[in-house]
Amino acid sequence: MSSHAATATQPNLDRVQQVGLGAFGAGLALCLFGLMSNPDQVMRSYLTGFLLTVGLPLGSLVLLMVHHLVGGQWGMVMRRILEASTRTLPLVAVMFIPVLLSLPVLYKWARPEVVATDKILQAKALYLNVPFFIGRTVFYFVVWGLFVYALNRLTTKQDAGDTDAKRRLNNISGPGIVVFALTVTFAVIDWAMSLDPHWFSTIFGVIFMVGQALSTLSLVVICLAILMEHAPMKGLVRPNHFHDIGNLMLAFTMLWAYTSFSQFLIIWSGNLPEEIPWFIHRLHGGWGVIAGMLIVFHWALPFILLLMRFNKRKAGMLSKIAILILVIRLIDLTWIVQPNFNPDHFSLHWLDLAAPMALIGLWLAFFARQLKARPLEPTEIDRLAASAGHH
Amino acid sequence: MDKELVQKPIAVGIAQDPVIGPGHDYTTVTDKISELVLTTKIHKEWVIGFLFSASLASLLGVAMYFLLFKGIGVWAPNVPVGWGFDIINFVWWIGIGHAGTLISAILLLLKQEWRTSINRFAEAMTLFAVACAGMYPLMHTGRPWLAYWMLPYPNTMGMWPQPRSPLLWDVFAVSTYATVSALFWFVGLIPDLATLRDKAKHTVSRYIFGALSMGWRGSADHWQRYEMAYLLLAGLSTPLVVSVHTIVSFDFAIGIIPGWHTTIFPPYFVAGAIFAGFAMVLTLAIPMRAFYKLEDFITMHHIENMCKVMLATGIIVVYGYFLEVFFGWYSANEYEKAVIMNRFTGPYAWSYWALIFCNGLAPQILWWKKYRRNLLLVWIISNIVSVGMWLERWVIIVVSLHRDFIPASWGYYTPTIFDEAFFAGTIGLFLTLMFLFVRLLPSIAMFEMKLLVPAAKARPESEGGH
């Protein structure tokens, strides 16, 4: 129960914080520069960055709840990292404000002159309108925030020796996952799917949730590789842990391919005028090249690498795969978001890199601060559970 | 039961029942399980159950006779409902099979030791359910002796199956799945068959079990290869189980019928299959456990975990229903909207609301531990879920089809007596095979159960996973 030992210095975290702030500073400067020349593009690229960033605390929240529900050794070393990541949610909520301030720039349904001439948008206006959109987003963040607060608070209690906390964490997590799945589904309908307000796909929310879990697992691997060099994680994180997380990454890589391919195959073979344009825009010209890249780098390469046992047991190798996955996640989100604005021709802007860099940089700095704020060593109870369950 | 005897080395988790009852060692496990097979005693209840199932199964023969001699016109499907009981029941049976593979393969890879006492039994259920499922497409051809035409092979007719059709993918997916499931089940049986060979007193049964056990001597070499083969088969089965129901969902989603053409179908069908499968495992395991006094092997821990899996997959299915309704509206497409409204208020509205009750509301009671431990209630809920999953396919297939795009071609589908007899017959076939299985083969994996007894646990720890 020694939460004091946790304040052991973590020089690496200071470095992460500095790098994050540096990236944020550089990205911000570029974005400000971009605002003068092409303000619309700043917001478009900003949205991609936001969708990547928001996936980290959300993916952490759901993995944390899954851990509380089903246990498993992987949770022991991941829990503190996931908790710190969920505590960045207020920052991510603030990050959404610029999007709210520029809805007409991003979303066609927020432009009255477009809606006036579009029968389909008029039919959807009950759902796709500015006040309701803002209200929903606020609602999502409040709901997620309540779960983040409750889970973190119970961990603090558990550290202080509350033996009942485990049961309560378990009780919250079951309904929590259900609420999470529904709210995230609607959040991505709002934030990402409604960029093309005519288009719809029922599996879209699942694809995003899988992507979020994948980015989160990659983040955790990189964090563990950094943290394992110093106390209290030194000697605690073993190849087995990386192996387990690597297996989870493999599973989510396959799930991503499975859900994405299902969406493609069903829409492609149906070839209906209300559905197929989304893929036509994304499979031709330069966007088609990106789509091919996604098949290779989001599925084939990580799949093959993660299939091999020795790649999963070494921190260095697994973190390289994790970085690959995080980069390809950004490309995937860019491929989903940007063709909405340039459906007929391929167009990548330097801001597509600068804006996500600013957001991820700020997030990293904040995340490192959260990691330092609380104990890093696993809770007593997780440690015992891991040693009891070891066989 | 024996809650006070549960030994917990460290009070870390929430108290759970053990995966095997107390006081068992290697001998008692073997004796208890092999006794069910090797005894010459035949229980009266078994005979009654078997005769009942076998007579139901003979109904299948009658139904097939009429089907083959009169033609598939004796079944109800017709324009606009071109698919009826045949595909509903095909999907229903194949879905039930999925739990077996999930328990034996996926839970093995996830190192969930509670799978051990139910895997053999669930795998057998998978095989029998797939056999029942296979009856439908086979008989729907009307000329099952020409079923090999479905396979792509060079022939003088110059005829090839349509590779763009998901129905052809079904042929491959289901036959592969059936083959691998059968192999997995049989490989898993070999060490136990050898045990039965050694324990059998009758010469005939010694010969039969001896032949089936394929010369198993239990040497270290045998075990080492066996473990590797079993793990590889588990790895092979895992993508297969997902692919089968994914392709079944493509049978619908690839088309453009409103109510069928929706991208959530693949994961939602897979979840539904597991949901239905666990319901069937519970439906069969609860009475079997009571009848053969297997409470020490199929403990409350198993029952509770199966309830949890059922609850979780049930919620995924409900998530699918919810998205269908939301996107029916959000699509702003009049046909999509019409399908949803037709489900809510059309002539088959009863089936939609019954489905919501069976799959959406009833299983929610399993959130509470108290009810998960109430065997009668769990058994009732499992049956409700089986009905609900049948209704789901009914709603998807019949309710989406019966109102065509043109109101002039609207219709109302009612199954004929031959449809019903065929369905009842497959239930009979399934139960007959289950009755034979529990009597003729060890329905719980003895050698795997032995790994769970305290003596096995005391072995030195081995480092590293697979």
ipTM of the complex: 0.91
> Residue B59 has what pLDDT?
94
Closest of B341, B333, B347, B344 to residue B410, by C-alpha: B347
Contacts with A262 from chain B: Cβ below 8 Å:
246, 263, 265-267
B1 has a pLDDT exceeding 50 = no
Contact across the interface for A265 and B367, Cβ inside 8 Å: no
- Mark A216-253 as b/e (b = at least 16 C-beta within 10 Å): bbbbbbbbbbbbbeeebbeebbebbbbbbbbbbbbbbb
Highest mean pLDDT among A196-210, B21-35, B284-298, B402-416: A196-210
Interface test with B, best of A126, A266, A276 (most B CBs within 10 A): A266
Q: How confident is the model at residue A390 (pLDDT cuts 50, 70, 90)?
A: very low
**Res. B188: pLDDT tops 70:** yes
8 A C-beta contact, residue A279 and residue A267:
yes
Rounded to an integer, the average pLDDT of A31-51 is 93
Best B263, B268, B369 residue to mutate vs chain A (most A CBs within 10 Å)? B263
Rounded Cα gap, residues B396 and A143, in angstroms: 33
Report CA Rg, chain A. Answer: 21
The upper half-sphere exposure of residue B199, i.e. CA atoms within 13 Å in the direction of its Cβ, equals: 19
- How far is it, in rounded angstroms, from Cα A327 to Cα A135? 32
Return the percentage of chain B with pLDDT > 90, whole number: 55
- The answer to whether the peptide bond before residue A232 is cis (omega within 30 degrees of 0) is yes
Min Cα separation A93/chain B (Å): 26
Which residues of chain B neighbour A266 with C-beta distances below 8 Å?
A: 250, 253-254, 261-263, 265-266
pLDDT for B69 equals 92
A18-32, A113-127, A223-237, B70-84: segment of lowest average pLDDT = A223-237
Question: Phi and psi for B81 in degrees, rounded to 5?
Answer: -90, 85
Asked if A390's CB is within 8 angstroms of B461's CB, the reply is: yes
Across the interface, whether the CB atoms of B267 and A259 are under 8 A apart is answered yes
CATH match for B3-151+162-465 among 1.20.1630.10, 3.10.20.340, 3.40.50.300, 3.40.50.150: 1.20.1630.10
Cβ-Cβ contacts under 8 Å, A384 against chain B: 10, 12
Return the minimum-mean-pLDDT range out of B52-61, B326-335, B452-461. Answer: B452-461
CA of A12 vs chain B CAs: smallest distance (Å): 29
B301 touches chain A (CB under 8 A): no
CB within 8 Å: B263 and A127? no
Q: Which residues of A touch B465 (CB under 8 A)?
A: 240, 243-244
Which residue in chain A has the smallest CA separation from B246?
A262
Instruction: Provide, as residue numbers in chain B, all residues whose Cβ is less than 8 Å from the Cβ of A390.
Output: 461
Size of interface A-B (CB pairs under 8 A): 87
Nearest residue, CB atoms, B14 vs list A170, A182, A205: A170
Nearest to B327 among A200, A240, A385 (CB): A200
Q: If pLDDT is split at 50, 70 and 90, which confidence band does A23 have?
A: very high
Kindly indicate the confidence band of residue A9, based on its pLDDT and cuts at 50, 70 and 90.
Answer: low
pLDDT at A272 over 90: yes
Higher pLDDT, B200 or A391: B200
Which position has the higher pLDDT, B108 or B244?
Answer: B244
| Residues B407/B408/B412/B413 CA torsion (nearest 10 deg) | -110
Between the alpha carbon of residue B112 and those of residues A305, B279, B452, the distances in Å are: 26, 19, 12
B50: tokens are: 């078997």
Write out pLDDT tens, residues B407-439: 898 989 999 999 999 999 999 999 999 999 988
Nearest CA in chain A to B8: A388
Packing angle of the helix pair A351-373, A74-86 (nearest 10 deg): 110
Chain segment B161-183, per-residue pLDDT in tens: 999 999 999 999 999 999 999 99
> Residue B316: its pLDDT value, please?
94
Radius of gyration from C-alpha coordinates of chain B = 23
Confidence of residue A2 (pLDDT cuts 50, 70, 90): very low
CB < 8 Å to B332, chain A: 120, 123-124
Nearest chain A residue to B258 by CA: give it. A270
Average pLDDT over residues B336-349: 94
Contacts of A200 in chain B (CB under 8 A): 327, 330-331
Q: Which of B261, B333, B457 sits opposite A266 (nearest CB)?
A: B261
pLDDT digits (tens, 9 = 90+) for A85-128: 999 999 999 999 999 999 999 999 999 999 999 999 999 999 99
pLDDT > 50? residue A376: yes
What is the arithmetic mean of pLDDT over B281-302?
Answer: 88
Q: Is B330 on the interface with A (CB under 8 A)?
A: yes
Maximum mean pLDDT: which of A45-54, A343-352, B115-124: A45-54
Q: What is the mean predicted confidence (pLDDT) over B272-281? A: 93
Give residue-wise pLDDT tens across range A214-250: 999 999 999 999 988 887 777 788 888 899 999 999 9
pLDDT score of B459: 52
Using a CB–CB cutoff of 8 Å, tell me whether B242 touches chain A.
yes
Closest chain B C-alpha to A52 CA, distance in angstroms = 23
Confidence band (pLDDT; 50, 70, 90) for A146? Answer: very high
Q: Confidence band (pLDDT; 50, 70, 90) for A76?
A: confident
The answer, yes or no, to whether residue A389 has pLDDT greater than 90, is no
Which residues of chain A have a Cβ shorter than 8 Å from any chain B Cβ?
71, 120, 123-124, 127, 166-167, 170, 174, 178, 181-182, 185, 189, 200-206, 240, 243-244, 258-259, 262-263, 265-267, 269-272, 274, 381, 384-385, 388, 390-391
Query: What is the arithmetic mean of pLDDT over A33-49?
Result: 93
What type of residue is B291?
A: F
CB contact under 8 A, A120 and B12: no
Beta-carbon contacts of residue B353 (< 8 Å; ≥ 6 apart):
none
Provide the shortest C-alpha distance from residue A16 to chain B (in Å): 32
pLDDT (average), residues A195-211: 96
pLDDT higher than 80, residue B109: no
Q: Residue A200 pLDDT > 90, yes or no? A: yes
Report the chain B residue with the minimal C-alpha distance to residue A125: B330
Cβ separation of A388 and B10 shorter than 8 Å?
A: yes
